Structures are given as C-alpha cells and as structure tokens.
C-alpha cells in the first residue's frame, strides 16, 4: 500500500528532487566513502590512477553481485551463510564443463559443452542449492541461520566430492569464458558490467515490483504481510533462489578471472558479503535496507582493503579497521538516529 | 510464543534422537573398526570433545539469550597467543616478559573476558545485532592475535609461537589417573553452568531474556546485565578452550580455530537449543558436542573421505532441527 502511494508521489516530482530523495538516506555512508577516498589518495600513491580504480571496481564487483541478492535475503529477516560454498560449486561445475577445463579427477573429463551452456548449468546448480535453502526455511521451518549453516557444510562437501579436491585449471581458457573475468566492455571491466546490471535489476525489483515491495512487508512483520495477501513463503523462497544464482554467477566470474576453480574457493565470503550489506544500512532483523546502500557499503570495504594493500600494511590492519568500521557505523546509527533517513530508507 | 513455553519438555525429543543416534553410531563404528573402542581412541575422543565442549558451553549461554557469538574462534586464538606469548620461553622470542604459568592463564582469560564484555556492551548498549557485532569482533580479535604474535616472535608476520611449558602440556595433554585434565575442566564447567542455569536467579533470567526481553524487563530483570554477563562468560570459556588447544599442540598459531565458531553453533543447535533463544540448555549441548566428536573421529577411523563427512554433518543438522519441529507438532 505504502509503496503504491510513494510511487504516485514520485511521478510528480522533478528529477533533481528525485536524486536528492535517493541520495539523502545514504548521505552518511556516502560521505564516509568520499572521505576514505580522499584520505587514501593523500597517503597511498597511485590510489587515484585509472588502473587502480578499475582494479577496485573489478575486485569488488564479484562480492558486490552477491551482496545485492544478500540484501534481499536480509530484508525478509533471513540470512544465507551458504553463499561461499555455492560460489565454489558453481565455479567448479562450470569450469569442468567448459572446453579446455581439466583436472586430475574424472568429473572434469566426462562431458564438455559450449561455454554459455556450461555457465547456464553452473547457474542452475546454484539455483537448486538456493531453492533447497528456501524450501528448508519456508517448508520445514528451520531457522535460516541453521538451515544455511547446514547447507554451507553440505555444499562444501559437494564441491569436494565433485572436484575430488583437485583444482580445475584451463588448457587453454576459451576466449568467451575468459571475458567474464578479464574482459572489457568499452573501458568497463566485464565483472563491473555484470555488477551494474545486477544492481540495477535489484534496485528495480525492490522499488517497482510487488515482489520487491513485499519483501519489506515480510521483513517488517511476516504475519501481517501474510494476512494482507502476500505469498510470504513463495517470496521468501524466491529470495534464496536469487541468492543462489547470484552466488553462482560470482563464482563463475571468479573462476574466469583466476582461470582456476578450487574446492576451497569462496570460504568465509559469506561474512564479507553480510558485513558489506549491513554497513550499507540494511537491518539484519529485516524490513529495512536498500541496494544503493549495499553498493556503497561494499565499496567502503573495497577502498579500505585496496588502500592498505598499496601501503603494504600487514593484513591485520585490514581486519582491525574492518571490524571497527562495522561497529562504528552500525552502533552510530543507534546512538545518532536520523529520523528522516530512517523513514525514507528502503527506496531505491 | 507457543514454542517457547515448556522448554524442557519440548527439546526432550531432539535430545533423545541425538542420544540414540550417538549410541548407534558408537556401536556401529566399533563393529567396523574394533580399535574405535580402544582406550586410546576413547581418550582421543574425550579430549577433542572437551576442547570443543568448553567453548560450546559459552556459546549455549549466548544463544539462550537469543544472540550468537561469531568471534569465539578468534577469541580462542587470542587466548592462545596471549597465554603462550607471556610465558617468554617461545622459540625465537622477542618478548622480555616472563610470567609464571598461572599468571599467563589469568592474563589470557582476562583478555578474552574483556573481548566478550565489549561484545556484550555493543549488543546491549549500542543495540547492534549480535550477528553483526560479533562478526566485527571476529575481525578485530583476529587482528589482535596477529599483533600479539608478531610482538612476541621475531620473523615473518603471523608466525606461530612455539614453546615448551609443563603447565600448558598438563592442560592439553595431561591426565590425572586415566582421566584427561581437560575432561575434568569440561565437566566442571558443565556442572557449574548447569547449576547456574537451573538454580540461580540470574540463570533463570537468561531464559527470560531469551524468551522476551520486554517481558523480562517488566518482571524486574535487567536484560542488559544478563546479556553482558553471558557474552563475557562466552569469551572466557572460548579463551579456556583456546588455552587447551595451545597446550595440546605446544604452539599458538595465528590462524588457529578459524571457523570454529560455526562448529560450536552446530553443536548447540544439535543439542536442541533454539537459535531464537529462551529454550534449551547446556545438557543438550553436551550431547551435541559428543555427537560431533564421535562422528568426526569415527568417520576418520573407518577411512571415510572427508567429503562425505561434510555431507553427513550438513544433513544431520537440518534433519535434527526439523525432526524436533515435527515431533513438537505431533505432541501439540
């Protein structure tokens, strides 16, 4: 209902106001990101170079793709810990089916097909894992944390079983498959192109479709949502399927980028992804969040990581700052609540 | 709301299921490999179980309040490097401090308790979701592990602290008669927490806070202090587990216990403590952690490839929690 009203209102307002409306809820983290970039450009040489910027975008696009879908999952009050394992499964399946992919284990030599067919199969397997998550959560009523924790263990087992523990490499990597990780569209890296598409699709889903609007309602109060005629179970299940597909897509891009699929790929990615989403203002308890915030959240971590790498600081600085940023950002939101932003968040 | 009532009756079923599976598994493994029931193998299982068990007990407290502690693994590693580092007899040590065994233990547990305290404050005072707050602490504590280890050992960043100390060896490898020291510690922790949860006012308050914070507050409980206490205890107990791990290996690694928090949570969930809080208890966790230890050791001994262990573990976790819901429904 509220979504409808808001939509009517936005039709009348000008483009400038619309941009203001979209930006305002994220002002604090946008400012944080800008400040970080200024600081990094002052202390880290070459931070602002075109090559480095492209690198940041390319590296973070992979986690970014997952975090868009994770935003949807968190919005419903769920969580998905299995994304790192799904990432590995999809990467391994696609690599083994692609012409040129080989390993010392039988599954990689059984069957080869066209690159796009291989990707489609990889994504389907990932979707199945997501579907299993969704069904366990909605039909068996197992808490999302436990259900996806179990799936994280289970899917990791599938990856080991499928690859035999051997990495799958390419001899040589087909050009069309290499494009996904290393290619460009014009000057934009291919992973970034896919990330932008996924982010736009995610924003559109949340803003303009009844499915997307229903996720806010489900996260706010599931019983009320159900009573107002929303098919809560189906929609929640769908978020896990989307999550699976996006984790799979990210895994496939990573496989293409490093030209290798390994059984240990994506371990503990779920934590990075969830951290980025939460930093972007999405509530872990559901009902509030946005795709734009998530994109900013992911890039804040990306900029910190990249800057510290350029400076050559040991990795533990990164760990420390990352933890501190989460506590300050999320805790600060409670200490200094901004009424207006908290009401308007949950748009684009 | 309905589910939270009668917590003791509710989880009887899941615990019984896990208990039966545990017995079946034990005899099954023994039938395939008679060595499985040998004193040496049982000693090994009991020691593994104790190390995981102590931290899982702390995790149970936190989950009972409706929270979770993802920093437990990092805290384990932190207590290891603090304890081993302060001994001052590490190989290639740069640390001039030389403390006796008991003081190093005290220092390590204090540090871990402090981390737990900060977790509790972030959750109770800043109202950060437990998952998020402890996820952040997981990063921070791990970075402190590196800082500590690097200040003790000269050489490559992240090198382990290797040392020799009788006290730690006793903690991780020692026996009193035939009983491993860590098992005694584990049982002591278990009994203390069992009595705490069952017979003390604060212990009962843990369930009340997990069930419904607002109602607990109206009943005169201060949820904030209960939450802070639980996280602090969880930190201390994870620290104790970390010291046992270090004692067992005579080496404190910077990457130790990575991802262990999820094992602890798995053990707690298998034991029938609901993730929403307010129901379950340490007895279930004892069962859950025994189940995991017997299963892991047994599957190793029958030479089951580790791939299948993942599949079995994941399946059993979902089925156990699901079975509990089903059995509950039938009862109602």
CB contact under 8 Å between B314 and A274, yes or no, is no
Please calculate the CA angle B188-B258-B148 and round it to the nearest 5 degrees: 85
Query: A9 pLDDT exceeds 60?
Result: no
CB contact under 8 Å between A319 and B142, yes or no, is yes
CB contact under 8 Å between B131 and A79, yes or no, is yes
B267 touches chain A (CB under 8 A): no
Helix (H) or strand (E) holding A134: helix A115-138
Question: What confidence tens digit (pLDDT) does each residue in B175-190 have?
Answer: 998 999 999 999 999 9
Helix (H) or strand (E) holding A170: strand A168-170
Q: How far is CA B108 from CA B75, B113, B152, B190, B238, in A?
A: 10, 9, 14, 21, 11
* Residue B3 pLDDT: 43
Distance in angstroms (rounded) separating the CA atoms of residues A342 and B16: 46
**Are A290 and A26 a contacting pair, CB within 8 Å?**
yes
Q: B156 — phi, psi (to 5°)?
A: -65, 140
Residue of B nearest to A82 (CA): B314
Only one residue has tokens 């029931």, namely B37
Please calculate the CA angle B325-B326-B332 and round it to the nearest 5 degrees: 90
Distance in angstroms (rounded) separating the CA atoms of residues B131 and B289: 22
CB contact under 8 Å between B136 and A283, yes or no, is no
| Chain B CB contacts of A327 below 8 Å | 122, 126, 128, 133, 136-137
> Whole-prediction pTM value?
0.89
Could you give the ipTM of this predicted complex? 0.88
Q: Which two tokens stand for residue B131?
A: 């998952």
| Chain A CB contacts of B265 below 8 Å | 145, 149
User: Tell me, what DSSP letter sits at residue B87?
Assistant: H
**Helix A190-208 and helix A210-220: axis angle, to 10°?**
70
Q: Where residue A71 falls among pLDDT bands split at 50, 70, 90?
A: very high
* Residue A233 pLDDT: 94
User: Tell me, what DSSP letter sits at residue B278?
Assistant: S
Q: Across-strand partners of A277? A: none
Please calculate the CA angle B314-B317-B318 and round it to the nearest 5 degrees: 90
Pairing of strands B175-176, A188-189: unpaired
Only one residue has tokens 């305002």, namely A24
Q: Where residue A111 falls among pLDDT bands split at 50, 70, 90?
A: confident
- Average pLDDT in the B44-71 region? 95
Only one residue has tokens 């597909």, namely A245
Mean per-residue pLDDT over chain A, rounded: 88
B132 touches chain A (CB under 8 A): yes
CB contact under 8 Å between B322 and A326, yes or no, is no
CB contact under 8 Å between B144 and A320, yes or no, is yes
Question: What confidence tens digit (pLDDT) does each residue in A295-341 have?
Answer: 999 999 999 989 888 888 888 888 899 899 888 888 877 777 654 44
């Amino acid at each position: 209902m509220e979504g409808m009203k808001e939509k009517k209102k936005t039709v009348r307002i000008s483009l400038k106001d619309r941009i203001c409306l979209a930006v305002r809820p994220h002002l604090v983290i946008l400012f944080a990101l800008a400040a970080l970039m200024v600081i990094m450009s002052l202390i880290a040489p070459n931070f602002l170079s075109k090559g480095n910027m492209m690198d940041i975008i390319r590296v973070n696009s992979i986690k970014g793709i997952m975090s868009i879908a994770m935003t949807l999952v968190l919005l419903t009050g769920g969580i998905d810990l299995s994304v790192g394992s799904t990432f590995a499964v999809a990467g391994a399946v696609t690599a083994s089916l692609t012409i040129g992919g080989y390993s010392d284990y039988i599954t990689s030599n059984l069957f080869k097909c066209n690159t796009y067919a291989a990707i489609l199969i990889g994504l389907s397997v990932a979707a199945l894992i997501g579907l299993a998550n969704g069904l366990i959560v909605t039909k068996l009523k197992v808490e999302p944390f436990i259900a996806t924790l179990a799936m994280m263990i289970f899917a990791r087992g599938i990856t080991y079983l499928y690859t035999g523990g051997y990495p799958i490499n390419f001899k040589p990597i087909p050009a069309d498959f290499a494009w996904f990780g290393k290619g460009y569209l014009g000057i934009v890296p291919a992973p970034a192109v896919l990330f932008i598409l996924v982010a736009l699709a995610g924003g559109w889903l949340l803003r303009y479709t009844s499915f997307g609007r229903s996720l806010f309602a489900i996260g706010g109060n599931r019983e009320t949502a159900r009573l107002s005629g929303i098919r809560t179970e189906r929609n929640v299940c769908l978020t896990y399927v989307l999550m699976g597909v996006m984790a799979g897509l990210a895994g496939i891009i990573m496989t293409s980028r490093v030209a290798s699929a390994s059984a240990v790929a994506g371990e503990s990615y779920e934590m990075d992804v969830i951290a980025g989403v939460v930093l972007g203002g999405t509530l872990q308890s559901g009902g509030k969040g946005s795709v734009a915030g998530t994109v900013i959240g992911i890039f804040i971590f990306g900029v910190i990581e990249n800057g510290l790498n350029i400076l050559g600081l040991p990795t533990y600085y990164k760990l420390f700052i990352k933890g501190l940023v989460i506590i300050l950002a999320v805790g600060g939101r409670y200490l200094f609540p901004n009424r207006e932003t908290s009401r308007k968040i949950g748009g684009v | 709301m309905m589910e939270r009532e009668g917590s003791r009756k509710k989880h009887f079923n899941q615990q019984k299921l896990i208990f039966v599976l545990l017995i079946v598994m034990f005899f099954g493994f023994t039938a395939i490999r008679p060595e499985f029931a040998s004193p040496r193998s049982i000693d090994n299982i009991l020691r593994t179980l104790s190390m995981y068990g102590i931290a899982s007990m702390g995790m149970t407290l936190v989950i009972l309040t409706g929270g979770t502690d993802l920093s437990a693994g990092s805290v384990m590693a932190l207590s290891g490097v603090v304890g081993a580092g302060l001994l001052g007899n590490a190989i290639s040590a740069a640390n001039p401090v030389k403390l006796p065994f008991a003081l190093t233990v005290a220092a390590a547990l204090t540090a871990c308790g402090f981390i737990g305290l900060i977790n509790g404050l972030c959750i109770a005072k800043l109202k950060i979701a437990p998952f998020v707050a402890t996820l952040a602490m997981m990063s921070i504590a791990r970075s402190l592990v590196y800082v500590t280890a690097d200040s003790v050992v000269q050489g490559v960043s992240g090198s382990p602290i290797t040392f020799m100390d009788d006290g730690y060896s006793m903690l991780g490898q020692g026996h009193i008669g035939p009983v491993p020291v860590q098992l005694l510690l584990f049982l002591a922790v278990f009994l203390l927490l069992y009595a705490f949860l069952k017979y003390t006012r604060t212990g009962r308050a843990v369930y009340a806070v997990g069930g419904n914070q607002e109602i607990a507050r109206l009943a005169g409980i201060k949820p904030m202090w209960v939450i802070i206490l639980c996280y602090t205890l969880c930190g201390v107990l994870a620290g104790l587990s970390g010291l046992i791990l270090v004692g067992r290996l005579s080496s404190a690694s910077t990457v130790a216990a990575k991802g262990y928090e999820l094992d602890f949570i798995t053990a707690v969930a298998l034991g029938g403590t609901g993730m929403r809080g307010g129901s379950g208890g340490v007895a279930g966790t004892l069962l859950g952690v025994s189940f995991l230890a017997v299963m892991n050791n047994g599957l190793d001994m029958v030479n089951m490839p580790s791939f299948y262990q993942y599949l079995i573990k994941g399946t059993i976790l979902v089925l156990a929690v699901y079975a509990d819901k089903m059995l509950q429904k039938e009862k109602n």
